[in-house]
A and B are shown apart, each in its own frame.
Chain A
Amino acid sequence: MLYHIDRPTSYIVVGNRLKGAKPLEVTFKDVTLSYDGKREILHHLNFTIPEGTLVSILGPSGCGKSTTLMMISGLLAPTSGKIFFGDQDVTKKDALARKVGMVFQNYALYPHLSVLENIEFPLKMAKVPKKDRKKKAIELAKLVHIDDQLDKKPGALSGGQQQRVAIARALAKEPSLLLLDEPLSNLDARLRIEMRQEIRRIQQETGVTTIFVTHDQDEALHISDHIMVLNQGQIQQFSSAETLYDNPSNLFVSQFIGEPVINTLDITDFDRELEGHVDAEILQRAKKVGIRPEALQDHDTGSETLTTIATKVKHSEKYGREKNALLDFHGKPLLTTEMRAEVADEQELPLYLQRHGFYLFDENGVRIFGGDQDA
């Protein structure tokens, strides 16, 4: 809201994107990166981030998320491949020319400047008149709820406060592309949710293309239009949150997305339970089995049920309205969140394996059964 009201006219000149102007689309074409010329950190990345969307890059620590952002911002040149903003090839342009906004993983605030001066810095570099830039900076400080700390130095702020200053600074020059490297990782749970809604709101109001790096799937699922799952320098899947969950393209994605984590078994853990229910040819190729905890029901669901399996209850407990049970299946643990009936420990229990949330993966981890086959 504050982002729009009373925008000083000079400010419009500064922002490289006028309101209503085209937000950026970002494309990677076969981008590879190696820091030392020996070990490849990112392998042949190909993707397009549609203009005006909020995309999360989600992946475990060290998978190359920050490195990807550095290449988008122009701080790091790809070893090979091309980067496009819209249809403009920006591969050879440096950060100064690309004019993106960015929040760094460790905030990177200027220690010698006050909060206000930090937020003003990009405007000062853009030669915005002193009065206008102060007004804009205060507006942004209010937006991120840091306007009571304006005169402090970053060293005197908590991690969460520093993070908010960094967000305000990134927004100051109203970039056409906003890059956020784990911007919420240091906030407490409540503020984190508040800030992520705030970021979403700002993004939707301004239409700025936003790339949001996180290793928190919950954050990614809530904030983004699309999620790119990255692991070991490769894109595992790039789709909507729903598709990621319902149609994981491989074992890694199925295990990475979902709370509680999907049950994973070897195909050899099954006797003949799947025979006749899954194509013999597919069964032949399958190596791993993924079963979402909600795909194990304790009652017959008719056509939704693929087959039944015989298990033994090891332990069951109730969390709020969820009733979990840890089961034993041929010596392997299985978790279900769908218990309806009261069960006793050590009780034999047949479970109805649902079609939805049951997957088979081949030796490369690629999904060959379950979900939509064409998704």
Chain B
Amino acid sequence: MITKKALLIGTVFASTLVGGTGESLFNPSIGFTGDIVTDISDVNGQWREATSEGIAVRSGELILGAAIDPYAELTANVNFTLDGVELHELYSHFHSLPANLSLKAGWKLAQVGRWNQFHAHAMPFTADPRLLIEYQGGHFSTLGTELSWLAPTPFFLELTAGVSEGWRAHTHDSDPSAFDSDLDQRAAELGLTKHGSHWHGSNGEIVDAEEIQDPEEPITTVKNKPIGSFPLLGRAKSSVQFGENWSADLGVSGIWRKDHRFSNRVEGKTYSKAVVGSDLTLFWHPLTANKYRNLDLGAEWLGTYEENELLFGETVLQENRFRHGVFGHVHYRHNQRLHFGTYGELFQANESDLWLKKRVGLFTTVELTHYQYLRLEGSSYRESPNIDPVHRLTLQYDMSIGFHSHGTQR
């Protein structure tokens, strides 16, 4: 643990030395972003810290960007946490191909949805939308390639198509319910109360671990890779301007994987999964004396279609499930220092057709300087009708130096 911390500090120091003014002066450009979070949440009415350390270095991103030649550049994003080091992104961007095309190849956050492509520190709020985690597993990453076409229209229209090596997603955000194991979570969802190594049902009966576990997993995701297991993804993105001060970004996206699950009972039978989404974000950015005052509000709708296997007696049945939900946010920047905002989401649970998961939050951000901010966020998350909502209070400190690989995000 100590060596990892030392490594982190060493990296910060190193990038301070070289992190001048960015790309035009240094090649490769180097940047570093530290994202530190401490939080408490009340699970079962008891307030506790989400991590045993108390403070979580959620991510320390070392970002390297370099032009390979005038037409391509390489971006690497290495993420340091106290648990280890992982390569987050490593891709080439051929930004100026003929016919208005550009190509990204390598490992990167996929161009789907609105919030998917945001790094932890770049979002106006601290916690990842739970909807994203529920339906995609977090921020969907591709180890693959994406081709984007800028339409030769007078307004902005970009179409992207891509293929990924697998269904890869991650989140920097710890789950506020912070269950110790999948079993604990499943038990909580079934409305059971934990007592040592066993649980009690609503009538006081003892429930053992074996009863909670799924007795026979009918399907598997581990198979050698047929061509259908490569997820395909696509996105169309546009933007509309209303006068000088208002504009709106809108997009539709989808991820589809034909062979997402493999039947253990029916030879050759596979089940697909798709995530579809649409997003609309409205920006008010007045070009007046209060250049920092601005507002954005948006909604992202995500739906997931999943095929699954069911056993009815001896009969193997296919079940098709469609679930969906929406995440909305308002983010107001009052001046150079202060931001305020709120978010809310409502979505159907993966666990049961009857459940609606709900989360609301409030946040305020103080920009200490242009390169550092402090954010306080409070949220309430009701995961299931059988579990009390989890309240979470988060304090986030972020600092960044040098080059940013996602400067044009808005």
Do A and B pair up? The answer is no
User: A residues bordering B, Cβ < 8 Å?
Assistant: none
User: B residues bordering A, Cβ < 8 Å?
Assistant: none
